[in-house]
Amino acid sequence: MHSPLLDLKEFTLEELEHRVLSWGQPRFRARQLTKWLYKGALDFDEMTDVSREFRQELAGRACLSRLKLDKEEFSADGTRKFRWRLADGHAIESVLIPEEDHLTLCLSSQAGCAMGCRFCLTARQGLKRNLTASEIVNQILGVKARLGQDKPLKNLVFMGMGEPLANYDALIRALTIIQAPWGLNFSARRVTVSTVGLAPLIPRLGRDVRVNLTVSLNAADNHTREAIMPVNQTYSLDAVLAACRAYPLPRHRRITFAYVLLAGINDSPAQARELARLLKGFRAKINLIPFNPHPDLPFSAPGPDRVLMFQEILREAHYPVFIRESRGRDIAAACGQLVGELP
């Protein structure tokens, strides 16, 4: 049911300034509000530098949205998975990954996903709906409220449930809030958006906001890619790579190409060599991700020797290539395992 109250986390600072002016308040009230919003305030009464009268007025006009934590799971490797219940009953998941000296948070942009990638559990749900900008931002605030003091949350990756570019407007609004000094103040170098390759939106993303770009290729030829990624029927490898060439890549930065390795499907030496040929001329790095098995998916991971062979062929072609360690497998928090189902 739609709330008549305004969700203040849906506004940029400039929009909030216009709003408070329309309420007869001075412009600086907007900055006061954003300070409290992204500090994680749960009630207007916490906003001690805002007058009591205006706080009462706000309570009648607006709300401080938040996500309800439905379940939290802890992996043996330190990964934590959060399942959030949305106001309409749908659920999404976020994953907190410990690194050596900091934390990385994997964010969802949709409830479910319409892309249909055959190796991904989220895809089996289909798309429930897009998330709002505040639902994206509230994943960060909800996790930050549950953190201890050991390690700071420094990195954000849009690699959870959904295709970020299929929810473009809310994504850009959320990224604006995430990176703004008046918002969550994350460095652009610490924020990554991953896409299956919605070609027309890739250059637009680079023009509209500064982020790291990861593109999920997962095959070096159209026939194989189409078999595991239906999006290839609309945006072929040629279209995706042309879009990547048009992406306004900052100096000293690289596009990351992700490649999920599926035994007997896309892991042959010939496919590694073809991938090396395809990416010639790109400032690229390659993340190899051995498939995370699940009883509901008809694939298996290649053996370690096969993965190392694939990596070595790409290294010989002078690409930086990394085998991405899957974290949180024991709690279904690894790449492609997020489902957000409620009991």
Q: Given this model, what pLDDT does residue 343 score?
A: 44
Q: Given this model, what pLDDT does residue 247 score?
A: 98
Q: Given this model, what pLDDT does residue 133 score?
A: 98
Distance, first Cα to last Cα, the chain: 22
Catalytic residue selected from 106, 113, 117, 335: 335
Sheet holding 284-290, edge to edge: 68-74, 80-85, 91-98, 103-106, 153-158, 191-195, 212-216, 255-261, 284-290, 321-323
CA 217/CA 223 separation, integer angstroms: 13
- Please confirm, yes or no, whether 113 is among the known catalytic residues: no
User: Which domains does the chain possess?
Assistant: 9-63 (1.10.150.530), 68-331 (3.20.20.70)
Which is nearest to 328 in space by CA: 20, 51, 75?
75
- Please confirm, yes or no, whether 93 is among the known catalytic residues: yes
From residue 154, how far is each of 87, 167, 183, 190 by CA, in Å? Answer: 28, 24, 15, 7
**pTM value?**
0.95
Catalytic residue selected from 10, 17, 93, 163: 93
Q: Given this model, what pLDDT does residue 332 score?
A: 65
CA 217/CA 310 separation, integer angstroms: 15
**Residue 270 CB: number of other CB atoms within 10 A?**
10
State how far Cα 195 lies from the chain centre.
Answer: 9
Q: Given this model, what pLDDT does residue 342 score?
A: 47
Which parts of 229-281 fold into alpha helices (H)?
237-246, 269-278
**Residue 239 CB: number of other CB atoms within 10 A?**
16
pLDDT tens for the chain, 343 residues long, are 456 899 999 999 999 999 999 999 999 999 999 999 999 999 999 999 999 999 999 999 999 999 999 999 999 999 999 999 999 999 999 999 999 899 999 999 999 999 999 999 888 889 999 999 999 999 999 999 999 877 999 999 999 999 999 999 999 999 999 999 999 999 999 999 999 999 999 999 999 999 999 999 999 999 999 999 999 999 999 999 999 999 999 989 999 999 999 999 999 999 999 999 999 999 999 999 999 888 888 899 999 999 999 999 999 999 999 998 877 777 665 676 667 664 4
Q: Given this model, what pLDDT does residue 338 score?
A: 66
Q: Tens digits of per-residue pLDDT, 161-193? A: 999 999 999 999 999 999 999 999 999 999 999
